[in-house]
Amino acid sequence: MVLRENVQRRIVISCNVAGRDLGSVVNDIRQAVPQAVPMPAGYRVEYGGQFERQQSASERLLALSVLAIAAVFMLLVLAFGRARDALIVMVNLPLALIGGVVGVFLSGGVLNVATMIGFITLLGIATRNGIMLVTHIHHLMNIEGVRDFRQAVERGAKERLVPILMTAAAAGLALIPLAVRGGQTGSEIQTPMAIVILCGLASSTFLNMAVVPTLYLRYGALRGANRMIGAEKMPRK
């Protein structure tokens, strides 16, 4: 059978991959083929099939992730009224990446479409935790009238601890059945994704309650200081 593509003859050589990830196998083939198979004039090698689709999906997910992070940042600026609070909330992203990277190694050390989907999901959960904390601090100062900025931050961290832990525990318990199904048929995507989310959820949840209040106490005091000065200058009836 003579196969053609784009008015050129094509010879298809296919293989199945087992016990290793597709990307590393293709990289080994790329290094071995030029040395072992000299190409006559007019011949070239192209790698397609599942590997080509995986590469295309990874590039698309990476581009969409960057756009999603930028969109979330702009929405946070609109919600909080200043970029400083939005940046403090976005600190949760690298905190979540710490556990996510550990999850990648635990799931085989391969960054594929499944683990990238896990990272995207993880970034959304981590951002939510920061929003819950910073929003409650604003509520204490603007609605409940807490004038001491340090007291507002400490009280906000303590009062948001249980809700953040409960939401993280609910998500983690739901992902445990998917994470322990490694090696079973049909779990090739679910298991790496669940492991990445679980590890990142653990690191972001615990570091969020320590790092974000500390940063907000250090760099978010401008609004609190202005409110305290304004409250002191207001005449009392």
The single residue listed with the structure tokens 């085989």 is 108
Q: Can you give the residue ranges of every domain in the chain?
A: 58-233
Q: Label residue 218 by pLDDT band (50, 70, 90).
A: confident
Across 34-60, average pLDDT: 81
Output the pLDDT for position 124.
83
Across 19-30, average pLDDT: 79
- What's the chain's average pLDDT? 80
Q: Which of 16-25, 76-85, 165-174 has the lowest mean pLDDT?
A: 16-25
- What DSSP assignment string belongs to the chain? --EEETTEEE--------SS-HHHHHHHHHHHHHHHSPPPTT------THHHHHHHHHHHHHHHHHHHHHHHHHHHHHHHSSHHHHHHHHTHHHHHHHHHHHHHHHTTS---HHHHHHHHHHHHHHHHHHHHHHHHHHHHHHTS----HHHHHHHHHHHHHHHHHHHHHHHHHHHHHHHTTTTSTT-TTHHHHHHHHHHHHHHHHHHHHHHHHHHHHHHSHHHHHHHHHHHHHSPP-
113-167: per-residue pLDDT in tens? 778 888 888 888 888 888 888 888 888 888 888 888 888 888 888 888 888 888 8
Cα torsion angle, 17, 18, 23, 26, sign: negative
Vertex 71: Cα angle to 70 and 75 (nearest 5):
120
Q: Is the pLDDT of residue 231 over 60?
A: no
Beta bridge partners of 3: 10
- Dihedral pair phi/psi, residue 132, rounded to 5°: -60, -40
How many other CB atoms are there within 10 angstroms of residue 30's CB atom?
11
- What DSSP assignment string belongs to 56-108? HHHHHHHHHHHHHHHHHHHHHHHHHSSHHHHHHHHTHHHHHHHHHHHHHHHTT
How many other CB atoms are there within 10 angstroms of residue 95's CB atom?
22
Output the pLDDT for position 184.
66
Q: Is the pLDDT of residue 11 over 80?
A: yes
The CATH architecture annotation of domain 58-233 reads: Up-down Bundle (1.20)
Output the pLDDT for position 182.
65
